[in-house]
Each structure stands twice: as C-alpha cells, then as structure tokens.
Chains A and B, each alone.
Chain A
Amino acid sequence: MSLSTLTKDWEPMSYGFLDPSAKREIRRKMLKAVAVPGCQMPYASREVPMARGWGTGGLQVSLTLINPETTVKVIDQGADDSVNAASIRRFLARVSGAPTTLDTLDADLIQSRHRIPEEKLREDQVLVLQVPNPEPLRPVQPNMSIARQMHADADYGRMWLQLYEQIVRSGRVMQGASYPSMVNGRHVMTPSPIPRWDVPKLHMAKHLTILSAGREKRIHAVPPFTRVEPLVFDDVPYKVEEHGDLTCVRSGAKGFFMNEIPQGDGSSTYEISDSEFGVKSIKQTEGTDTIFGETWYKNGEMS
C-alpha cells in the first residue's frame, strides 16, 4: 500500500467547487427543509470564494444542485446584469460548465437576491433565494437559541404584537420587504427580503423554493403546492406595494414591480425591476418575435 494508491490524482478543486461531503450535507438538509416546510435547518455552511453576505448560502445550494446540463439564471434585485449577479453567474459557469441564461423560461435553476421573476415558474424549475437573515423573530428576539425554542413552541405572540403595534402607531403594517409568512400553517418564515409584491407568488406555487442563509447557516424551503400566508389580521388585509398602475419608461411594461428612478426636477420615473422581462417587452415593441411566459400578476393584480 502506498499513498498514491490511497489517493486520487491531485486536482485544484472538486467539480462544482464544494467537495462531496459538503454537498451530501446540503442535500440532506434540503430534504429535511422540504419535509418540514418553513422550518430552519442548521447546516455547516462552508466558506466559498465569495464574501459572507454576498449570496454564499444560495451559492452553496446552487453548487450542490448544478450539473453540466443545468441552465442557470442569476438575478440581483431583479437584474441579471447587476454586478454581483454577474459575478455569481460567472463563478457557477466556471466551476460547473453549466450553461447560463437570462430568460426565466429557459432556466432550470434560478438563484436570486430578493426578487421572484414576474413570469410564473414551472414544476421543473427550482428557485434559490439568498437570505441575509433567516430568522423572522430577530426583531423581537435577537438571541437565536431562544428564537429556535419559540419556533418549536409555535410561540408567535410577540410577532403578532409587533404587527399590531405598527398598525396602532402608523395606521398600517410597516414591514417593507421580508414580510413574515406562515408556511403550511405551522412555521413562520421570512421569505427573504423579497418585496411584499413577491410573497403571494410563493403561495401554492408549482416550483420548489430553497432559501439559504450562508452566514447564518440555515436552510428553509417552500415545497411545491404549499400554503404561504403573510401574517395579517382578519380586518387588515395584506397590501403589496402600490405598483400596479405604474408604467416602465423604458419598456412600456405596466403592472409589475418597479424601480423608482429619482429625476433632477424632483419627480420620479419608473423602470421595471425584472430586467429581462423589460428587455423582452422592448424587443416586442421593436417587432422582434418574443415569447413571454404567463405572469403571476395580470393588469397589476395578482391572479
């Protein structure tokens, strides 16, 4: 027996960067997360060649799911060409050889920071959301071990109280993005800082959503056809951002989530947040044959 018979030839890195033991752990934790929807599963969370807080949780999930046939789309704040989306897409392609796309319809795997595309996702697609803070109870309980116990007891009283206090003080729920939502009637999760506009897209969706926080070392999931209900009082309905009537100045698309662009004269214009949907809309206006998928929102209303 010699060292050369015990070891493989040296390679600078494993396929898809992570070594098999790391991938195996993540697969197991993803299965657990799917089995108990919305429940946070702790995982080791290896370091990857990107800084913590820059999508390392999403990246580890993508690296575990990817193979040379997986078509990958990466978005950041809705845009494919945002610098960090470009960086993650380039890294995924570099270590896996997987093809990349900008078109939601062509993607098998979509890694996203804080947006869900406007076109409906299908059963065969997986959405990986990057999560900065996996703990919806953090604002009422910063200590993670106590918060964990509260989830175990389904002790969400302080969560409700916080929402109630906001209504009393400000006349409405002041939560912007990351709206706390009850999953499958049992676990309150953060949907990650997606806008309120996107939360209803998770409810009874056909696709699997994996939410992964690399720095905080937690994975949770929304399996297909699972209830995702924002925490609301019976008499104060859930309100998405008032973007239903806005029109994109560049593409003319109307009734989708927008980025507000401040103008020199004190006014604002708007452009569509889902950048590739905007590109498609422009192409269509220019007369190019363009295939649109069905959208979650129609005429600015969730359908």
Chain B
Amino acid sequence: MAYVATRGGERAIEQSERLYRAAMGDITEQRVDEVKAAMPYLIDRVMGEASLYDEDLAALALAQTGGELFEAVLALRAWRTTQPRLQVAAPIAQDQLFTHRRISAAFKDIPGGQVLGPTLDYSHRILATDVLNGATYAPEKVEAADKPSSAYQPSVAAWQAENDLLDLPVPDDTKPEDIPDVTREPLLFPSKRAHTLQSLARSETGGALALGYAAMRGYGQAHPTVNELRLAEAEIAVTHPNGTTFSAGRVKVSQAEVVSKKGEKLELGFAATLGWNEVKCISAATLDLNSKGAEKGSATEEEFYLYHTEGVESSGFCIHFKLPHYVTFQSSLDAMRDAKAKKSPKPEPAQ
C-alpha cells in the first residue's frame, strides 16, 4: 500500500537546508525589526520586485533567506499569490501623491520647484570605517527649509502637454476591478498596457538596469531625458462594503517619466513601482520609451525585455541548471556517438 517514501535524497536535502540556516541562527521578531529599520531601501527593492507592499513580510523574507534577494522575492511572491484580493484601490494621479522628492533634468526649474528630498546623489561615497573601531556614526540633523515646498506637485509632463510639446496618454477609464492583472492572467504579446506597466513595476532591478543601460548606451533608438523622477507616498483609497471610502494607509511609490524628441513632439516613457527605487524606474521608463516600433528580438522590444527582466523566472531558470540533467545528456551522447561512427572512414569498396 501507499506509504511515505524516505530515502537518501530526503535526508540530504533536509541536512543541506539546515546547513544553510545554521549560518543565520535564530530568527526573531527583533531581528526582523532590525532589518526593517536598517535597510529601508533594500526592503523597498524587495517589495517592488515581489509586488507586495508589506515591510514586515519583506524584512522577514530577507531575514529568513539570509539576504539572498532572489529567494526573498520568491518567498514573498509565493505568499502573495495565494492571498485573496479584497479590494482594488482607487486610481491615483501624480498631483495627488504625497511627494518627498521630485526632480527634473529637463528644466532648470519647474512649477513647484526642484524638490531634492532624501538622496545620496551628492554624497561622497566614503566608508565610515571608524564605526568598525567602536565609534558611532550619527547622521547630522536635518534642518528644515524656511519655506517648505508643497507635498502635492503637478507632473512636468502636464506642463509640457499644456504647451503642446507632448501628448499625454488618453485617460483610461477602465473600472478598477476590470484592469488586467498580470499575476492572474498570462502575459501575451502585443501586451496590454496594464500588463507592460505591471511587469516593469515588478521587474528585477538588475535586469531592468542591464537592458535599460544597453538602450541608454546606444542600442536603443531614443536617448532619455529624465523629465521627472518622483519619490512619494500614495494614499490607498478603498471602499467599505457599506459604501464609505476610506484610506487604508499610504504606500511608498516611485516613478519616472523620461522623454525624447520625436519630430515636433516629445515622446514619453513611463514606469512606476512600489517602494523607492530610482534606478529601476529610470531604466524601466527608458525601455518603455524605446519599445515603440522596436525590432523583434532587439533588447528594447517589449517581448524581449519583459521576459528577460522577470527576476523570479530568470533566476529560477538559471539555478535549475544545477539539477541533474543526465537523461537529456545521455540522449545527446547517443546521437553524437552514432553520428561520429557514421563519419569514421569506411574501407574502400573492392574493385
């Protein structure tokens, strides 16, 4: 009758997992809190790639995987996919975002001003090695500006549209619950706009950068100008079953608009993601900008970059090559040997 099989393989995999986890020791609530407090940008990156906004779960995933990013994102995605969807939040426009940072490279100054916000852009990248000798590195206190800038800022593209420099995308009035969801439907090409933006939002940062950089460096048709880069918090407005709309809290979001001259107008590339991740947004927006009319099979073509920046799929496939492949290999050997035997010189036929 049926029974649970235990053989060498089961013991081996159990022990190898123990060996991995032994290096990290006990995982406690305190450790999760420390990860969360110490590495907000890592948490953001992981939440974006997992497309799941929960700082505690992201910190737990990082603690549990010892910081193996691909593993952490996979654990979060696997958790996310089984969760029910209770509500779809109301769409939110750029000027409704609670904005911490908004800069434009296209103009010296923009309506609302250049808001630098938090960034390491102009820091000197010098390690505080004294910390290793017992000193505490205490960041200097932030001094508030005399005149605080408004938390709500219009988009730069809106100003350009008003001045007939750019055509804004036609507003999409699809009902929130009817928006195509790439996590619940297959991605097919040419892809739906929602699927493209969702896939870029959860793309792997390094992958988006690699292909985006290729486009920036010269393999793309368009040179991007950062029209606007924004780090903000978005209000999650949901509707209670009794009809009341209320805020379920705010999530950190980042977004980039990049533009390029096309004829007499500017062409717009856009990307946004959960959490603050500037490199990913600029890269992804560059890919979006370049994808229109891109040649099939080129790195800036939608099918190419959406498939190859999917971190869970690409990393999984990469590590699957560690699995035994001896059956396939045996099958190839058989064909090779037979072909070789056929090629070996045959004795001259008798005259």
Contact = CB atoms under 8 A, between A and B. Distances in A.
Interface string A34-66: 000000001111111101111010000000000
A113 B188 CA distance: 26
A136 interface: no
Interface in B301-341: 303, 307, 312-313, 315-320, 323-336, 338-339
A242 B334 contact: yes
A42 B320 contact: no
A77 B9 CA distance: 14
Nearest to A259: B326
Contacts of A80: 5, 7
A139 B287 CA distance: 26
A76 B324 contact: yes
B77 interface: yes
Contacts of A17: 82
B319 A48 contact: no
A101 B331 contact: no
B297 A143 contact: yes
B22 interface: no
Contacts of B75: 49
Give the residue among B75, B187, B241, B328 with the most A Cβ atoms within 10 A: B328
B23 interface: no
Contacts of B296: 143, 146
A145 interface: yes
A142 interface: yes
B189 interface: yes
B10 A86 contact: yes
B8 to A, nearest CB: 6
A170 B339 CA distance: 6
Contacts of B1: 99, 106
Majority SS of interface residues in chain B?
helix
B82 A145 contact: no
B127 interface: no
Nearest to A216: B313
B190 interface: yes
Contact of A171 (B9, B328, B343): B343
B74 interface: yes
Interface residues of A, number: 77
Nearest to A89: B5
Contacts of A87: 13
A53 B317 contact: yes
Give the residue among B315, B325, B342 with the most A Cβ atoms within 10 A: B325
A13 interface: yes
B145 interface: no
Interface residues of B, number: 60
B331 A86 contact: no
Contacts of B13: 83, 86-87
A174 B81 contact: no
Interface string A159-201: 0000000000011111111100000000000000111110000
Interface in B78-101: 78, 80-84
B2 A22 contact: no
Interface string B52-78: 000000000000000000000011011
B5 A77 contact: no
A195 B316 CA distance: 23
Contacts of A255: none
B124 interface: no
A85 B186 contact: no
A177 B331 CA distance: 6
A220 interface: no
Contacts of A115: 327
Contacts of A177: 327-328, 331-332
Given A19-B84, A53-B317, A84-B323, A217 B338 contact: no
B342 A83 contact: no
Given A53-B319, A99-B3, A143-B296, A85 B331 contact: no
A47 B339 contact: no
Contacts of A170: 339, 342-343
A251 interface: no
A263 interface: no
B324 A176 contact: no
B135 to A, nearest CB: 42
A77 B333 CA distance: 16
B82 A51 contact: no
Nearest to B76: A47
A18 B338 contact: no
Given A48-B78, A56-B316, A196-B331, 17 more contacts: A1-B241, A6-B241, A21-B184, A47-B312, A48-B81, A52-B315, A54-B323, A84-B323, A86-B9, A93-B4, A101-B3, A106-B2, A143-B297, A144-B189, A176-B332, A215-B316, A239-B338
Interface of B: 1-5, 7-10, 12-13, 74-75, 77-78, 80-84, 183-190, 241-242, 296-297, 303, 307, 312-313, 315-320, 323-336, 338-339, 342-343
- Which 3 A-B pairs have CB atoms at the shortest separation, nearest pair first? A52-B316, A53-B320, A99-B2
19 contacts: A19-B81, A47-B74, A47-B78, A52-B316, A54-B323, A83-B13, A86-B5, A90-B10, A100-B4, A106-B1, A114-B328, A143-B296, A144-B189, A146-B296, A171-B343, A172-B342, A174-B335, A241-B331, A258-B330
